[in-house]
Amino acid sequence: MDIQSIKNRFGIIGNAPALNHALNTAVQVANTDLSVLIVGESGVGKEVFSVVIHALSPRKHNPFIAVNCGAIPEGTIDSELFGHEKGSFTGAVDSRKGYFETVNGGTIFLDEIGEMPLGTQARLLRVLETGEFIRVGSSKVQKTDVRVIAATNRDLLEYTQDGDFREDLYYRLSTVPIRVPSLRDRKEDIPLLFRKFAADFSERYKTQSVQLDPAAQQVLVNYYWQGNVRELKNIAEQISVLSTDKTITSEALQHFLPQRNTSRSLAVIPQQGGAQGSSSDFNTERDILYKLFFDLKKDMNDLKQMIFDVAHHQGYTPQDPSAGSLMPVYNNSEQANNNSNATFNVVKNPILLEPNDHHEDVEETLLLADREKEFIIKALKKHKSRRRDAAAELGVSERTLYRKIKEYDIKE
């Protein structure tokens, strides 16, 4: 079966090289029992790839189930996956089979695997390595034959370094990694996807299909698409339902595009009628420049301290910058006389470290911390305490943002 026929069968739209590569990998691995880790941003269609792998595998006539690990409470996820015995916890009025028991012989798709608790990760690792599991509240070892396909929109390798994800489980899951490209990495597919969605909604709502003029199509292609295909589909549905004019101009299209992405799209989205406003002063150019400035200042202070530490460790102490050299440190005059003919490496413009400089560095660090805290508070307020959106706005991981919230004792 060729790639195009697979696309037609599973409703996959697009011809971008990155998409074709991911699909080719899925087809090649489908006929094996290897574990697969599907990596990609939220909304790119990772679950579709898990369906393709199962449907083309020898297990295609056996059960397939998709489980969102992030949607199951930590206290019940073990019971959901591995089952439990009657009376094993409050509310366990009957014994219950878990997914790994009911899907025996089939495929289980674990979405958002990065949200799985560490204890459950250990149980999953045992299933992958030995095919064995134990129900909650039981001591009886049971066997299962289930193929595991996992997906994540996180950097699991970073999670392993932070201790939030087991390294052995990461390498066990990622036997065959498949990276699904974001919509930004397959811009040539955006017009195709929009036309397909517009046609589908036209048929559903019994209306004439909307079309984009060339300028509007260019805006669509250059938009950031933080929500990827899912966001594009939502925009197509809004336009199909709400637009009275079935030929959409770039100006009309701007009204349907969320303004939260404005700061990331300034360089590529044509502006209509001058500067575009923002829903929050966090997105102003001034704030962005302030952030860059203070980050640079912090890096400079770190570099100054590093140079001083190295010089001091090697027996040198910085002196007047105009001298263009580093003077050695002697314990007594005799040592100085014995080393009068010694030569030293010359460092242009060495850093003066006076008491006031240290005070200035501390003050600058405090100012930087205040500024960082201010940015975090603004981002959280803008996104109504939704940490995932705030982290994306700030350009940091969600876990880094969580640590900063605790560090600065920010009340959400």
Q: What is the pLDDT of residue 107?
A: 98
Give phi and psi for 138, each to the nearest 5.
-120, 160
Measured between alpha carbons, how far is 81 from 69 in angstroms, rounded to an integer? 10
Phi, psi of 331 (to 5 degrees): -85, -25
Q: Which pLDDT score is estimated for 305? A: 66
Q: What is the spatial distance between Cα 186 and Cα 21, in angstroms, rounded to a whole number?
A: 12
pLDDT digits 0-9 by tens, 280-321:
344 444 455 555 555 666 666 666 666 666 666 655 555 444
124-141: per-residue pLDDT in tens?
999 999 999 999 999 999
Looking at residue 99, its pLDDT comes to: 97
What distance lies between CA 412 and its chain's CA centroid? Answer: 22
**What is the token pair recorded at 154?**
């996180």
Note the pLDDT of residue 384: 81
What is the Cα–Cα distance from 398 to 404, expressed in whole angstroms? Answer: 10
Query: What pLDDT, on a 0 to 100 scale, did the predictor assign at position 234?
Result: 96
Q: Which residues fall within 8 angstroms of residue 341, CB to CB, at 6 or more apart? A: none
Q: How would you class 27 by CB atoms within 10 Å of its CB: exposed for 0-12, middle for 13-18, buried for 19 or more?
A: middle
pLDDT tens string 210-243 = 999 999 999 999 999 999 999 999 999 999 999 9
Residue 368 has what pLDDT? 65
Return the pLDDT at 50.
97
Beta bridge partners of 326: 318
Please report the DSSP string for 81-133 in residue order. Answer: HH-B-TTSSTT--S-B--HHHHTTTSEEEEETGGGS-HHHHHHHHHHHHHSEE
> Strand 247-248 and strand 141-143: pairing?
unpaired
Asked whether the beta carbons of 228 and 41 are under 8 A apart, the reply is yes
Assign 152 to helix, strand or coil: strand
- pLDDT number for residue 67: 97
pLDDT digits (tens, 9 = 90+) for 264-274: 443 333 333 33
Low-confidence ranges of the chain (pLDDT < 70): 260-368
The gap from C-alpha 342 to its chain's centroid, in whole angstroms, comes to 55
